[in-house]
Amino acid sequence: MMTRDIESFLAFAPSAAPDFGPPTARAAFLVAPDGFRLAEQSAQDNAYMADAAAFDAARASRQHRDLQRALSAALPTVCFAGDPETPDALFPNNVFGTAAGRYVVGRMRHPVRQQEAARSDIRSFFRDVLGYREVDLSQQENPCELTGSLVIDRARGLGFCGLSERCDEAGARLMHEAFGLRATLMFDLADGEYHTNVVLAVLAGRAAVICPDGFADKAVVEAITTLYAPHAILCTPGEHAAFVGNCIALDQDKVWMSAAAGDALLPEHRQQLTDAGFEVAAVELDAIEAAGGSLRCCIGEVF
């Protein structure tokens, strides 16, 4: 099922059993921020990006290594070398995604990011090392920036796809099929938003972190809140701006976010996460956040 109809989605989604697959990844992969600088093409539709003067490549590299070290204590985490010609490559989840037995290559909107999809080393890792089948969407014309645009409840096989210049309806359908999902709800993001995973996180299939201002239609917010109640956290504008919505669960009992997000997280929302069974782990990423993404954007998941 793929639909924009909220009632149809809600008629199906609550009955989807949590047997679609593991709710969290078995490994993670990163791409180093080599050549870290302002990507002017990406800045055209990413309002979270800072001015060029705010980019500190050395600090970003140190923080990225700290992120890998922290994640490695939770699950195997590999890091591929970056490329100075692709300054956005430290956000690989938009380009490469995985599902059981296969990997998906997305179609990026901007040419500077389209170069990332051609990386033979990452493709070879999935194909030759892990033995995954390739689903290559990079050469068709519809933008579909994978788990930037599509937030997936891996336990139940449900997708939440925010449409913007980074993903159209045809691209959403291609991703729905590539990941083999049971049902995907499509909706418009609010003006100025570029990726769904900045305004929505589904944590191990049992909780959701939602930034209401990131959605064009508040009825979508209400639907997602209903689906994950009582473990639906509705972020304030301050939490939204600090990337609280750009968090991720990599196991059953911990949610990862940046230190800035952790500092902005209200005590009552931290308690909601605790009630859902999650401890909050935070990593300093302020230098990386200048590029318009935060912790979840840095993490590619291996399922």
Q: What is the pLDDT of residues 107-146, one digit of tens each?
A: 999 998 999 999 999 999 999 999 999 999 999 999 999 9
**Higher-confidence position of 112 and 172:** 172
The pLDDT score that the predictor gives to residue 112 is 87
The C-alpha atoms of residue 159 and residue 63 are separated, in whole angstroms, by 31
What are the backbone dihedrals phi and psi of residue 133, each rounded to the nearest 5 degrees, phi first?
-80, 140
The C-alpha atoms of residue 8 and residue 66 are separated, in whole angstroms, by 44
For residue 27, give both structure tokens. 């490994």
171, 143 contact by CB (below 8 A): yes
The pLDDT score that the predictor gives to residue 47 is 80
Q: Report which of 76, 72, 73, 65 is spatially closest to residue 34, judged by C-alpha positions.
A: 65
Helix H, strand E, coil C: the string for the chain is CEECCHHHHHHHHHHCCCCCCCCCCCEEEEECCCCCCCCHHHHCCCCCCCCHHHCCHHHHHHHHHHHHHHHHCCCCEEEECCCCCCCCCCCHHHCEEEECCEEEECECCCHHHHHHHHCHHHHHHHHHHCCCEEEECCCCCCCECHHHHEEEECCCCEEEEEEECCECHHHHHHHHHHHCCCEEEEEEECCCCCCHHHCEEEECCCEEEECHHHECCHHHHHHHHHHHCCCEEECCHHHHHCCCCCCEECCCCEEEEEHHHHHHCCHHHHHHHHHCCCEEEEECCHHHHCCCCCHHHHCEEEC
What are the backbone dihedrals phi and psi of residue 92, each rounded to the nearest 5 degrees, phi first?
-75, -15
Q: What is the pLDDT of residues 51-92, one digit of tens each?
A: 888 899 999 999 999 999 999 999 999 999 999 999 899 999
Q: Report which of 142, 136, 194 is spatially closest to residue 168, judged by C-alpha positions.
A: 142
Q: What is the pLDDT of residues 177-234, one digit of tens each?
A: 999 999 999 999 999 999 999 999 999 999 999 999 999 999 999 999 999 999 999 9
Those residues whose C-beta lies under 8 Å from the C-beta of residue 101, and which sit 6 or more positions away, are 132, 133
The C-alpha atoms of residue 224 and residue 202 are separated, in whole angstroms, by 10
Give the residue-averaged pLDDT of 229-250: 98
Pick the CATH number of 2-302 from 3.10.20.30, 3.75.10.10, 3.40.50.300, 3.40.50.10860: 3.75.10.10
What are the extents of the domains in the chain? 2-302
Q: Report which of 299, 196, 198, 188 is spatially closest to residue 245, judged by C-alpha positions.
A: 198
The pLDDT score that the predictor gives to residue 50 is 76
Q: pTM of this prediction?
A: 0.96
The C-alpha atoms of residue 235 and residue 241 are separated, in whole angstroms, by 10
% of the chain surpassing 90 pLDDT: 92
The C-alpha atoms of residue 77 and residue 210 are separated, in whole angstroms, by 27
Could you tell me the pLDDT band of residue 46, with boundaries at 50, 70 and 90?
confident
For the cut 90, the answer to whether the pLDDT of residue 302 exceeds it is yes
Q: How far is CA 39 from CA 52, 83, 137, in A?
A: 9, 13, 23
